[in-house]
Amino acid sequence: MSQKDLLRIAVTGASGFVGRRLVEKLTESTAVEVIGVLRQLPVEQQPFAVVKIADLTETTDWSKLFSNTAVDVVVHCAARVHQMNDSSEDPLNEFRRVNCAGTLQLARSAAAAGVRRFVFISSVKVMGESTLPGAPYSVNDIPKPVDPYGISKLEAEQQLAALCQKTGMELVVIRPPLVYGPGVKANFLSMIKWVHRGIPLPLGAIHNQRSLVALDNLVDCIIKTTHHPAAAGQTFFVSDNHDVSTSNLLRGIARALGTQPRLIPIPMALFNHVARLLRRPAIAQRLCGSLQLDIRHTMDSLDWVPPFTFDEGLLKVAQHYQQSLAVQRSADLK
């Protein structure tokens, strides 16, 4: 295959949870040339071109990315991510500075350089925080973000749409829910640790429904949108197409770890009541609330089906977690 036949894809946030895996999968294709955009240059040589960009703001100079190589597609994974305990004085302004102004600076530079398609990794949080069980979000629903992160992502979507309409660059927006996979952090890792340690959990009677997406399912969908003709100008929800309750999620984690969960069946109403008394309603919402996505538009438009099942996704997480523990124990013995 000649150089001119290669699809040149630049991935921002190439060292992040999603970006790193996306770059790994893209480099497996002989039809793709990958440019990874990183904040820090890697110590070891990588099987793809690397560009260092120190920050993501309205003044970022993207000439390093676009001046030497003709880029066909930009997949924008880099962002100021959702934070449970944000210590900044003005969180919304900080999110806007990176996720809106920074994204628009990149998109303007990409359009000026002749980039054909811009794939923006947004978030389900542009829609809101919850759904009623059995009433999933559809791509036709009106977004109603609640927190600064969700607001900044929606504003970025809207500004990107205006820019792309003006310049002719194709825009694809992907809104994933919670992403889990090998190396997952935050609340999902906490649940793995709870189950692995056999901690009794008052979560055995939670009957909510939540959409999740395995990292490899998300990456597979992203790759599809980089070249599929029907993706241009579209917004896509993505998930495993298998919604689960918190109780069944914990049971699934236990199966993957090869253990038994210790779940106490406390009624949801009582759990929510105790959380309110303890002034922790957000915890109850995350554990008991529903958030479902209807991904039929994604599947039909892209002729796409999640390649990995929910149980397969959890097994990858569990194996990575157990391997990490083994490595740590080995290091401790030295």
Catalytic residues, which ones? 149
Query: Would you give the DSSP letter of residue 35?
Result: E
Contact 208, 156 (CB under 8 A): no
Tokens of 66: 């676009």
Closest C-alpha among 105, 96, 293, 129 to residue 212: 293
H or E segment and range at residue 213? strand 212-214
* Residue 142, H or E segment: none
Smallest CA-to-CA distance from 245 within 203, 284, 206 is with: 206
With H, G, I as helix, E, B as strand and everything else as coil, classify residue 252.
helix
CB atoms within 10 A of CB 282: 12
CA gap 313, 282 in Å, rounded? 27
Tokens representing residue 270 in the block = 């009582």
Q: Are 95 and 152 in contact (CB under 8 A)?
A: yes
Q: Which amino acid is at 48?
A: F
- One-letter-per-residue 3-state SS of 108-134: HHHHHCCCCEEEEECCHHHCCCCECCC
Q: How far is CA 282 from the centre of its chain?
A: 21
Residue 263 DSSP symbol: B
Nearest alpha carbon to residue 180 among 318, 52, 272? 318
